[in-house]
Structure 1
Amino acid sequence: MSGMQRICVFTGSNHGVREDYRLAAAAFGRLLAEEGIGLVYGGAAVGLMGTVADAAMAAGGEVIGVIPQALVEHEVAHPALADLRIVGSMHERKALMAELSDGFVAMPGGIGTFEEIFEIWTWAQLGSHAKPCGLLNIAGYYDKLLEFLEHSVAEAFLKPGHLGVLQVANTPGDMLASLRDYVPAGETKWIARSER
């Protein structure tokens, strides 16, 4: 995946309580721009979403925001975006973000962020795409989730290979390197029908 042109970032519309989250969002946005990789994100000006976009734009990067009309009307759309795609629903938003992107990263966020990374990871598990998916685990934010996912493997609800699709890194630089080095496993959810 060394030829990545755009990475989609899922992250919070809040900043969270740790300054580490904001600093990492700014660093990741800046890194993408410096590496010539476009940012695709949810189009908001608020929270970590706004931080990652502002940093990418300040460093001269391409930034594409995708936002449902309902959120535009609540005035959270980023006013400085040169490329803001307005869609009709959250489903359309996620589909367009997936189409535009060559990889996906979840930074700290809430249930919207969780839902977005889990859906795109599920699509990879089902063989709908072979793009890398990652968790940028700033300040251990996702440690307990990763423990739970290991529990899911131990309880035979998640195959180790499918867990391995989700790349995990603690710094923006390591995350980008992991996405670039990603090689799809080739195993999809429905290959081994006899195990059902």
Structure 2
Amino acid sequence: MNTTVLFLAGFETTATALCYVVYSLGKYPDIQEKVRKEVELALGGSGELDYEAVTQKLKYLGQVVNETLRIWPPVFTFITRQAKADFEYQGITFKGGTSILSPTLQIQRDARYFSDPMKFDPDRFSVENDQGFPKAAFQPFGLGPRNCVGSMLALVEITYTIARMTQSYRWELGQSQKEDMPLEQRSMVSIPGRGP
């Protein structure tokens, strides 16, 4: 059963995240060019893109992926926790055992945690800005010991695919895609509101 969940949950969400990254780089050609230069530097003329290059050398691309996942998370509501005991929050009493869902999209777009939250800014995730927001405010794969089991695989797949694409292609958005990308929801998974 867990293997089935890994393949089914990992396929749609990773593909959706990849679509959002492609959209982001098409919308921001200056960022696409910066990613391309980083990829060229990481490859060093060899054209060989191995695990080490993907996970260690493509830092800026990692920032781009994270910023994309922040603004357009493939999963809207991911974290579910159960209250251990009764508690009160903003005048409402919750009984122990109540399931609490964390609204990923709203948290990751909240101006209390991210200044100008709808601005696409990969530098939010740079080493220099490491303490720029609470760790729990960025949760595209959930948080804690029960976070997404496939998160590292998804990040490697997305980073590798985008690196290969920028190595060989430049792309731009068509006229119908230049506006902001609305999100639609299918169950708990987001999809681009305007397909290609």
> Who wins on radius of gyration, i.e. which is larger?
2
TM-score, normalised on structure 1? Answer: 0.29
1 or 2 for the larger relative contact order (CA 8 Å, sep ≥6)? 2
